[in-house]
Structure 1
Amino acid sequence: MSEKLVPKRQYTDEFKVEAIRLAEAVGQHEAARRLGVPVATLGNWSRRSRNAKSIGDVDSHEVKSTRSTRSINDLEAENSRLRKELASARLDIEILRKATAYFVKGSR
């Protein structure tokens, strides 16, 4: 019987911080399910974060603030791009809905 080796996944510090925040909001199991990470891994990150805070280790990777240093213009440009992409996706969905209805009606 051969065992499948699962490659070790690397997560960014920002991802870990946001995962911990999500776990605090909705619970560890739900956060792990949503993010696709093992519950034990998320628990380890949370525990390390709590220990670092209690010791006063502000320089810890898990505790660092992840404030964005991007300019407002960059954020507005990205927001505009995402709105256009969402509008395009909604249009695609509407076209597919109408096409599906047309073909279903024609097959009767």
Structure 2
Amino acid sequence: MAGSTSKRYPAELKARAVRMVAERPADETEWAAIKRIAPLLGVGTPETLRKWVRQAEIDSGSREGVTTAESEQVRRLKREVAELKRANSILKAASAFFAAELDRPSV
């Protein structure tokens, strides 16, 4: 995944950044807080932090969307399906090979 930030930023940093946005002063908008906090914590762009905030809202149930756990399960199942398809094609090829061997007249 080219845009994935899971490798670049530790989970603790993400959680802290999201918490700081949630605990912003009452007179500060969410976007203003995001723009202020992102550079403080060394987050590349405010948009990255905004996405973390949105995902945290989804994960907590306060916003509609696909949770992190659901996304991981889908990724895991897709990998498993791909692996099973590869194994199935190998078995089909082996089956065709052995069927051809059985059909050959013995000399």
Q: What TM-score does the superposition give when structure 2 sets the normalisation length?
A: 0.41
Structure with the greater relative contact order (CA < 8 A, sep ≥ 6): 1 or 2?
A: 1
Structure number with larger C-alpha Rg: 2
Q: What TM-score does the superposition give when structure 1 sets the normalisation length?
A: 0.40
